[in-house]
Amino acid sequence: MPHTVRDKEKLINRVRRIRGQVDAVEKALDQEQDCSEILHVIAACRGAIDSLMAEVLEGHIRLHLIDPDHRPTSAQSKAAQDVIDVLRTYLK
């Protein structure tokens, strides 16, 4: 079972929160709020989307690139964790 199916409800809830944040950007623009306030809301949206991307990528790496049924070696596990750590840092 793919990780996105297994974690479907959690991922959908995150998307719904992101949708709320995007709606907040639209509202801030519509209400002609200060640029700095709008930029903070946009930054929050980007952070939420990056976090969602990191979570889906991590699951993909753990379940599709390293076959959990064939007990990955410690070197493979470490390499996968290194890639995940770099992605999480990059997407912050």
Specify the number of domains making up the chain. Answer: 1
Q: What is the mean pLDDT of residues 46-58?
A: 92
If DSSP states are collapsed to H, E and C, what string results for 46-63?
HHHHHHHHHHHHHHHHHH
Higher pLDDT, 72 or 55: 55
Mention every residue, 6+ apart, whose C-beta is less than 8 A from residue 48.
14, 17, 18, 21
Residue 74 CA to residue 64 CA, distance in Å, equals 17
Q: What is the mean pLDDT of residues 29-40?
A: 97
Range of the structural domain that residue 37 is part of: 3-90
**pLDDT cut 70: percent of the chain above it:** 96
Q: Report the CATH number that the domain containing residue 20 is assigned in CATH.
A: 1.20.58.1000
